[in-house]
Amino acid sequence: MKYDTQKFKLIKNQEIATGIFDWVVENKELPALAKCGQFAHVKVPGKTLRRPISICDATDTTLRLVFQVKGEGTEIMSKMKVGDEVEILAPLGNGFKIEKGKKYCFIGGGIGVPPMLYTAKQAENPLVITGFRDKSLVILQDDFKKAGAEVVLTTDDGSAGIHGFVTDVLKERLNEIGEVCACGPIPMLKAIAEICKDKVPCQISLEERMGCGIGACLVCACKTKLNGEEGYTHVCKDGPVYNAEEVVL
């Protein structure tokens, strides 16, 4: 795999929900290489570390990156202006593996929803289950519909869509599903993996504090069990997407 970091032009920056920003960045070369579930390592002016952001959508010349302001780095990103130059190392990591002719269920929780959009576009008639804390954080519902997905909305407090968790919906619909792909908070992933265990295959996308983004510095450790042996692999290079049964959650 060849890596490259290049200058991108910010062509859209919009707050689409409270503290959640929708970026579209343009570059002639790198976006075309992106696969669903991969991420982009964004250089932030004045910061030592880059920020790993999941790829929400891609065309041959653009990447869409939807991120939540969590700290100083993402705050700086949220204030950047259309027309600004951004340096991005992308695409990175192993994404979701999508097979033809399978009924997929894509599940996103909170800021784990964005990577499921480009992923959902790779499958036929997928079921997408999205979960948010409350109404103010709901994102991307129309995008999923436009992509031809059946999208189900849940909120923890019932302020929008179904009052409940993504797992409630998953349990009800499990018998019509061939494979599950999920991204979101660890407790959610853990619950999903438990429901899928011995029934349907399940891929999950993880996050961890990251350094180099390419597997050299070994900081973004994830405890995995491969061939019966427990050890640390690295989210940036071995992940971010793993088979759920390989991960010690």
Partner 1 sequence: MADLGVNICGVHFNNPLIAASGTFGFGHEFSEFYPLETLGGISCKGITLKKRDGNPPPRIAETEGGILNAVGLQNPGVDHFIEKDLPWLRKQNTVIIANIAGNTQEEYCQMAEKLSNSHVDFIELNISCPNVKSGGVQFGTSCESVGTITNAVKRHCTKPLMVKLSPNVTDIAEIAKSAEYNGADVISMINTLTGMRINIDTGRPIIRNNTGGMSGPAVFPVAVRMVWQVANAVKIPIIGMGGISKWQDAVEMLMAGATALQIGTVLFNDPYAPVKINKGLNDFLDSKGMKSVTELSGTVKPW
Q: Could you write out the DSSP letters of every residue in 147-175? A: TT-EEEEEETTSSSSEES-HHHHHHHHGG
For residue 244, give the nearest of 208, 196, 207, 199 by alpha carbon: 196
Shortest spacing between CB 106 and partner 1, in angstroms = 26
Report the 10 Å Cβ neighbour count for 195: 15
Single-letter amino acid, residue 200: V
* Amino acid identity for residue 62 in this structure: T
Distances (CA, A) of 73 to 33, 101, 128, 144, 205: 26, 41, 30, 28, 22
Smallest distance, partner 1 to C-beta of residue 210, A? 7
Among 16, 32, 186, 217, interactor with partner 1 by CB under 8 A: 217
Candidate residues 108, 112, 161, 211; the one interacting with partner 1 per rule CB under 8 A: 211
Rounded Cα–Cα distance for residues 208 and 115 (Å): 16
The span of 93-101, 135-143, 190-198, 213-221 binding partner 1 (CB under 8 A) equals: 213-221
30 contacts partner 1 (rule: CB under 8 A):
no
| Site pattern 79..118 for partner 1 (x: CB under 8 A) | --------x-x-----------------------------
Give the x/- contact pattern for partner 1 in 152-191, rule: CB under 8 A.
Answer: ----------------------------------------
Q: Which residues bind partner 1 (CB under 8 A)?
A: 1-5, 43, 47-50, 73, 87, 89, 208-223, 231-232, 237
